[in-house]
């Protein structure tokens, strides 16, 4: 609107594009929302959009509404698309952090601080499961920030749980909190807890799965500033006639990352962070 463009909001992401849930937006539509979690536009997973018929419907709705650029689509139709990296998992290549990640991290911190009271008072071993599908950013940085441990990366050679019990928990501590990233591969926090209960019955073990708590709440200052900068940059990109790029921030500079790279390239966790955690866990 600042740039003299007409803005429309599409409800429920691709689903709204398919069903035509599209509304004209004035600046008042986004007043008093910066402190809110979630999204006023709602969001949904949309199976129909994965089919060519569904995408054709979406494209027809767009054209009918007079929409000629999207802040987010792909190369199938000739529509300029600009993507914003929104996920708590932080697993998108080409941006230092994603929108929502810092808020989720702070939620984990708050939860672990609270769980610690029971862990220390009752001298218990807690396995706390955090989100992140197969990406370890939330678990690793959550552990550094909250003084918790993690079961290190999955390895077939060393029994990681065994190592942790020997080197970490048993040596010096009567209580401990271990962050575990949700994973179908390892079985998550429940799996580790069951094993400890069976193999070391002397330990008093508990599990907390933080789940969708991590995906809500008022955004942190970092996320508000990040989303504002990326949003503004997305409009600049449209006006520069960019297409099919995700807006990211690297070393505090705005960057344009082709969708193909953002989605397909791996974003590994930094080795030095793993080392920091190792050093702090002695």
* Beta bridge pairs of residue 247: 256
> How far is 42 from 49, CA to CA, in rounded Å?
16
Comparing CB distances to ligand F6P, the nearer of 212 and 264 is: 212
Beta bridge partners of 258: 245
- Number of residue whose CB is nearest ligand F6P: 131
Evaluate whether 173 touches 125 at the Cβ level (below 8 Å).
no
Q: Does 47 bind ligand F6P (CB under 6 A)?
A: no
Q: Which CB sits closer to ligand F6P, 48 or 204?
A: 48
Site stretch for ligand F6P (CB under 6 A), options 128-136, 160-168, 242-250, 268-276: 128-136
Rounded to a whole number of angstroms, the minimum distance from the CB of residue 211 to ligand F6P is: 9
89 binds ligand F6P (CB under 6 A): yes
Scored b (16 or more CB within 10 A) or e, 110-124 reads ebbeebbeebeeeeb
Beta carbon of residue 182, minimum distance to ligand F6P (angstroms, whole number): 6
Of the candidate residues 17, 22, 70, 131, the single one contacting ligand F6P (CB under 6 A):
131
Which of 133, 170, 173, 197 binds ligand F6P (CB under 6 A)? It is 133
**In whole angstroms, how far apart are CA 241 and each of 69, 235, 245?**
9, 10, 11
> Minimal distance in Å, beta carbon 227 to ligand F6P?
15
- Identify whether the C-beta of residue 16 lies closer than 8 Å to the C-beta of residue 10: yes
69 lies in the binding site for ligand F6P (CB under 6 A) = no
Which one of the spans 16-24, 28-36, 55-63, 130-138 is the region binding ligand F6P (CB under 6 A)?
130-138
Cβ-count burial 131-170 (b if 16+ within 10 Å, e if not): bbeebbbbbbbbbbebebbbbbeeeeeeebbeebbeebbe
Q: By C-beta, is 88 or 119 nearer to ligand F6P?
A: 88
- H helices present in the chain, as ranges: 14-19, 52-64, 101-122, 137-146, 160-163, 170-172, 188-199, 221-239, 259-264, 271-280
Task: Find out whether 188 and 174 touch, Cβ atoms under 8 Å.
Answer: no
**In the complex, minimum distance from the CB of residue 272 to ligand F6P, in angstroms, rounded to a whole number:** 24
Region of 131-139, 164-172, 245-253, 254-262 interacting with ligand F6P (CB under 6 A):
131-139
Which contiguous run of DSSP H or E holds residue 180? Answer: strand 176-181
* 189 counts as binding ligand F6P under rule CB under 6 A: no
Taking the least distance from each CB to ligand F6P, the nearer of 102 and 237 is: 102
Question: Which residues are catalytically annotated?
Answer: 89
> Using CB under 6 A as the criterion, which residues of the chain lie in contact with ligand F6P when the complex forms?
87-89, 131-133, 182, 215
């Amino acid at each position: 609107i600042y740039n003299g463009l007409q803005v429309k909001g599409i409800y429920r992401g691709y689903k709204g594009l398919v069903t035509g849930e599209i509304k004209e937006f004035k600046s008042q539509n986004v007043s008093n929302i910066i402190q809110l979690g979630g999204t006023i536009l709602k969001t949904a997973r949309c199976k129909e959009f994965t089919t060519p018929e569904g995408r054709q419907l979406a494209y027809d709705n767009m054209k009918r509404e007079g929409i000629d650029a999207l802040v987010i689509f792909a190369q199938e139709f000739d529509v300029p698309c600009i993507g914003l990296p929104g996920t708590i998992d932080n697993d998108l290549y080409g941006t230092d952090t994603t929108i929502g990640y810092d808020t989720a991290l702070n939620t984990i911190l708050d939860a672990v601080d609270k769980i610690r009271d029971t862990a220390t008072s009752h001298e218990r071993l807690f396995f706390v499961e955090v989100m992140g599908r197969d990406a370890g950013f939330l678990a690793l940085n959550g552990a550094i920030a909250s003084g918790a441990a993690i079961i290190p990366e999955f390895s077939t050679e060393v029994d990681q749980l065994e190592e942790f019990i020997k080197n970490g928990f048993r040596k010096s501590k009567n209580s401990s909190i271990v962050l575990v990233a949700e994973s179908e591969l390892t079985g998550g926090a429940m799996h580790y807890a069951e094993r400890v209960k069976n193999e070391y019955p002397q330990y008093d073990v508990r599990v907390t799965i933080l789940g969708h708590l991590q995906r809500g709440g008022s955004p942190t200052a970092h996320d508000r500033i990040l989303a504002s900068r990326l949003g503004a940059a997305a409009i600049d990109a449209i006006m520069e006639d960019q297409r099919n790029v995700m807006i990211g921030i690297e070393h505090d500079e705005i960057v344009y990352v082709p969708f193909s790279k953002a989605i397909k390239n791996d974003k590994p966790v930094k080795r030095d962070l793993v080392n920091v955690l190792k050093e702090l866990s002695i």
